Amino acid sequence: MLMCIVDVSLEARNEPAMISRAGSRWGLVLIALSLAGCGKEARTLTADLPQTPPHGRDDPRIPKYQNNAYQIAQGGRYFGWYGCGDCHAAGASGVLDLGDGRWRHGSSFDQVYRVIAHGHPGELAHYGDRIPTEQLWQVTAYVRNLPQVPTDKRRRQDHDAQGEPTGGTWSGAKR
Amino acid sequence: MRRGLAFLLLLGGCAGQQTPLAPGGEQAASLFTLFGLMMAVTSVFYVLVLGFLGWAAWRARGHWSRGAAPVVEPDDVGLSRSLVVWAALIIAGLFLLVGGSFVAERALASARAREALQVSVTGHQWWWRIQYRDPATGAVVETANELHLPVGRTARIELGAADVIHSFWVPNLSGKLDMIPGRANSVDITPRQLGWFRGQCAEFCGAQHAHMAFSVKVDTPAEFAAWLAAQARPAATPADAAAARGQRVVVGGQCAMCHVIRGTAAGGRAGPDLTHIGSRRTLAAGTLVNTRGGMQGWIAHPQAIKPGTMMPPVALDPADADAVSRYLESLK
């Protein structure tokens, strides 16, 4: 996208001086706007990671995860690695469909977190003991973001993740 | 004096475990020869150009008086002739380089026809998955971050990537080749020298690209066969109470979500195979020396050692942490 914006501003140079100046100014504004979008990608690479579950829906740590594209994407990776997609894949229906926007146990961050960690039935009930806390934060952010992901985008994401291990299998890098 | 010392120190970098200037394999040797030829040809031209430049400056020193009008010099037959000779020299130098590079490419490609040991190496953020075929059973034998190769035999290394583009490079043994998601690349390596070398990811692949290294050990064929047979075996059973406790923590806790220890219930595939972790030289893809202390530090604070790594911090009480490190150390 950045490339085409730059193209527009360069093309504007060939126009008469007035338009050219306006054109390149708009180009600069557009570039600045598109760079502002990079803030969503900011990643915090520190040892300071959450060690506890969210303390309710107003936990100040929640926006750092829910509004950050990197944390959501990491959650998506773990979602695949831990085999969540075995049941909750893109085509899942009914209670297994996480993208339908209907939250049966509540839609707030702490509620979704609790269901992932301790709300699965039967043998799956202990994810909270087996998945590290910080990764549960990321998986929660990913799951809560799913209703906003259009079908074709989710298909592309799944395609990109084909070379990654899923659950107990890894079939090799996709050729 | 000090400058001489600095130069010697620089030269010191030319020997060692990770340098293309001390080739330990056939492919690295042909690349090194090509490098030598290129250095020689370009050095000759460098010296010639600087020499002529100096000579011209020397000849012109009398004409540097200020305000003199520019003069059109008469045709100089000698100059025209020497320019033709100069152009011919350049063409000859370029042909030498093209010829040398052709010969080197032929040498690299000649290994293609040989029967080779098949190894597959996959780049992950930020570690290396390494897989062999067990000659006895045909089963896949997996390890991580430590590549063993038999001396004198060509290994065909299939390169792949699980997430982003990485690049496989063991400078002492061969040139680098990219590992691209969705694409099959392969590189042939014929080691000629026994010992340890170091490989490094050579394509920026994210925050911890710099900490994505691996060890390469060139063994005698007998040593290699014994090593591969040992790697193919399932994990050792815990020998004492502490190791048994460690095994319970590893298999029943968070480790097993991502790591496999063959012979136990730990079967995660996302992270490195730990079946024989105790036999490896380093932890975290060449980041730490493999000691019990290093192991405990890595498990407790991976984000402090390698910020951004996919390995999460795992909080264990001290007795469990000690037991886990004892257990993992015992997995030779």
**Taking the mean position of all CA atoms in its chain, how far away is CA A35?**
19
- Which tokens hold the place of B169? 């490079």
Query: Chain B residues contacting A, CB < 8 Å?
Result: 120, 122, 160-163, 179, 181-184, 207, 253-254, 256-258, 267-270, 301, 303-304, 307-308, 310, 312-315
The pLDDT tens digits of the residues spanning A144-169 come to: 999 999 989 988 888 888 888 887 77
* Nearest chain B residue (CA) to A80: B270
Q: What is the CATH number of the domain that holds B29?
A: 2.60.40.420
3-state secondary structure of A44: coil
Note whether residue A172 is domain-resident.
no
User: Do B31 and B103 sit in the same domain of this protein?
Assistant: yes
Number of domains in chain A: 2
The pLDDT tens digits of the residues spanning A64-77 come to: 899 899 899 999 99
Which structural domain range is residue B274 located in? 241-329
- ipTM of the complex model: 0.77
Distances (CA, A) of B116 to B7, B206, B264: 41, 33, 33
Q: Do B312 and A49 touch (CB under 8 A)?
A: yes
Predicted confidence (pLDDT) at residue A21 exceeds the cutoff of 80: no
User: Do B204 and B248 sit in the same domain of this protein?
Assistant: no
The dihedral through the CA atoms of A7, B181, B274, B147 has a sign that is negative
Question: Which among A49, A81, A82 has CB closest to B313?
Answer: A49
The pLDDT tens digits of the residues spanning B184-197 come to: 899 999 999 999 99
Cβ-based neighbour number of residue B215 at 10 Å: 20
Predicted confidence (pLDDT) at residue B292 exceeds the cutoff of 90: yes
Q: Do A81 and B301 touch (CB under 8 A)?
A: no
Predicted confidence (pLDDT) at residue B181 exceeds the cutoff of 70: yes
Distances (CA, A) of B110 to A1, B153, B171, B189, B264: 45, 13, 19, 11, 44
Give me the pLDDT at residue B79, please: 85
Note whether residue A53 is domain-resident.
no
Give me the pLDDT at residue B2, please: 60
Which structural domain range is residue A17 located in? 8-37
Enclosing H/E stretch for B318: helix B318-330
Average pLDDT over all residues of chain B: 91
Between A45-59, B42-56, B156-170, B281-295, the lowest mean confidence (pLDDT) is in A45-59
Predicted confidence (pLDDT) at residue A6 exceeds the cutoff of 50: no
Q: Where are the beta strands (DSSP E) in chain B?
A: 117-124, 127-133, 140-144, 146-150, 155-161, 166-168, 177-179, 185-189, 195-200, 213-219, 282-283, 288-289
User: Do B83 and B184 sit in the same domain of this protein?
Assistant: yes
Q: Which residues contact A22 (CB under 8 A, 6 or more apart)?
A: A12
Gap from B80 CA to chain A (nearest CA, Å): 44
Chains A–B, number of C-beta pairs less than 8 Å apart: 78
Give me the pLDDT at residue A8, please: 37
* B272 vs A2: which has the higher pLDDT: B272
DSSP state of B138: -
Q: Do A175 and B182 touch (CB under 8 A)?
A: yes
pLDDT bucket at A9, cuts 50 / 70 / 90: very low
User: Do B116 and B249 sit in the same domain of this protein?
Assistant: no
Residue of B134, B327, B140 lying closest to B238 (CA atoms) = B327
Question: Which among A134, A135, A173 has CB closest to B122?
Answer: A173
Taking residues B12-34, what's their average pLDDT?
88
pLDDT bucket at A89, cuts 50 / 70 / 90: confident
DSSP state of A60: T
User: Do B159 and B250 sit in the same domain of this protein?
Assistant: no
Predicted confidence (pLDDT) at residue A2 exceeds the cutoff of 70: no
Q: Which residues contact A38 (CB under 8 A, 6 or more apart)?
A: none
The pLDDT tens digits of the residues spanning B206-226 come to: 999 999 999 999 999 999 999
* B69 vs B180: which has the higher pLDDT: B180
Number of domains in chain B: 2
Average pLDDT over all residues of chain A: 80
* Nearest chain A residue (CA) to B261: A168
Give me the pLDDT at residue B10, please: 59
The whole-angstrom separation of Cα A84 and Cα B230 is 34
Between A4-18, B56-70, B269-283, the lowest mean confidence (pLDDT) is in A4-18
Would you put residue B145 in left (φ > 0), alpha (ψ -120 to 50) or beta?
A: left
Chain B residues lying within 8 Å of A173, measured CB to CB: 122, 160-162, 179, 181
Note whether residue B185 is domain-resident.
yes
pTM beyond 0.95 = no
Predicted confidence (pLDDT) at residue B44 exceeds the cutoff of 90: yes
Which of A21-30, B12-21, B158-167 is most confident?
B158-167
pLDDT more than 70, % of chain B:
93
User: Do B31 and B167 sit in the same domain of this protein?
Assistant: yes
Residue of B58, B301, B88 lying closest to A46 (CA atoms) = B301
Q: Do B269 and A170 touch (CB under 8 A)?
A: yes
Question: Which among B160, B253, B269 has CB closest to A130?
Answer: B253
The pLDDT tens digits of the residues spanning A109-129 come to: 999 999 999 888 876 667 888
